[in-house]
Structure 1
C-alpha cells in the first residue's frame, strides 16, 4: 500500500512539472555539431491562424564553456505568409558576466539563454511563417565574421501567449 501511494505521488508530481509550460505556442531547436558556421541558417516554420491574440517571441541559445565571447550578434528574419515581406533585425545579446562566466539557466557547463526577440506582437495575417536565424559575430577590429562560432550547441525559437 505504501509503495502504491509513493508511485502515485511521484506520478502526480511528474505530471505537474511536465504540464507547467502553458504559455508555449511554438518551441523548436536546431542542433550544431560543436560550432555554428556563419553560413548555417537555423530555419523555423510555423503556422499561425490567430491574428487577434498578443504573443511574445524569443530566441533560445544553448551554449557551453567553449563559447569565447561576452556577447553574440544575430541576424533574424521573419517572412510573412504569401508575400515577399520580410522583417530583418540585427540583434546583440550579452552572453557572459564580467567575470567571464556564461549567463543563462542550467546547472552544468551548458547554459540556456532565453533572449527577447519581439514582445506584444499580433500576427498580421494567417498562414505559414518562417524565421531564419544566423550568427553574425565578428572579432574586434576585424571585418570578416567568425567562420566557426564555438560553444553554441543549439539555437531555438519560441512563441508564447501573453495571457
Structure 2
C-alpha cells in the first residue's frame, strides 16, 4: 500500500527542496576536519585541496571554526598558506575575535558548539585554474611566552569554504 500525495503536497515538497538547494547554491567548496579530543596541536597543519575552474567570477573564502565552551581565549591567531597550481604561495598571519567584550562567544551555535564563519579572502579572483591547497595552523601563545600552546583546547572542527560572490 503506497502513500498518495495530493497535488498541493507534492508542490509543497518540491518548493521546500528548491528553497533548501538555493540556500546553499553559492557554495562551491566546503570541507571540515575534526580535531581529535577537541584539541588543535601546535604543529598540526590542516590542509584542504580544491580545484578551481572559474577564474572570472570573484569568490569569497572562509575559515570555519567550530569551538566549544572549553576554548579559553577571546581571540584566535592563525597562519594560513594558499598554494597555487604553479607553486606560488600567499602566507598570512591573521587574528579573529572569538568573544565579545563581555566574554560571550561570537558565532552561531546550539548546545555547546559554536560555529564561526571567518572571512579569509573577499572577492578574490583566482589567477589560474587547477588544484589549489589551503593550509592553516594556529599561532596561539600565552602572554609573555615564545613557544606556541601545544594543545589548543576547545577547537572541535576546522573548515574551509569557497562561495560565489553574488
> TM-score, normalised to structure 2's length?
0.89
Q: Deviations over 1:112-132 (max 9, x none)?
A: 000010011100111100000
Aligned pairs, how many?
Answer: 162
Is there any run of 5+ residues in structure 2 with no aligned partner, and where? none
Equivalent residue, structure 1, for 2:101: 98
Alignment counterpart, residue 30 of structure 1, candidates 25, 28, 33: 33
CA–CA distance in structure 1, aligned partners of residues 153 and 82 of structure 2: 25
User: What is the RMSD of the two structures over their aligned residues, measured on CA atoms?
Assistant: 2.0
Question: 1:8: how far off?
Answer: 7.0
Question: 1:161: how far off?
Answer: 0.5
Equivalent residue, structure 2, for 1:75: 79
Equivalent residue, structure 2, for 1:56: 60
> TM-score, normalised to structure 1's length?
0.90
Question: 1:17: how far off?
Answer: 2.8
* Structure 1 runs of 4+ with >4 Å offset: 1-12
Sort the Cα spacing of 1:38 and 1:15 in 2 relative to 1 into closer, same or farther, 3 A.
Answer: same
Question: 1:28: how far off?
Answer: 0.5
CA–CA distance in structure 2, aligned partners of residues 19 and 112 of structure 1: 21
CA–CA distance in structure 1, aligned partners of residues 156 and 129 of structure 2: 32
Residue 110, structure 1, aligned to residue 113, structure 2? yes
Alignment counterpart, residue 123 of structure 2, candidates 120, 125, 130: 120
Question: 1:146: how far off?
Answer: 0.6
CA–CA distance in structure 1, aligned partners of residues 68 and 21 of structure 2: 25
Question: 1:107: how far off?
Answer: 2.2
Equivalent residue, structure 2, for 1:88: 91
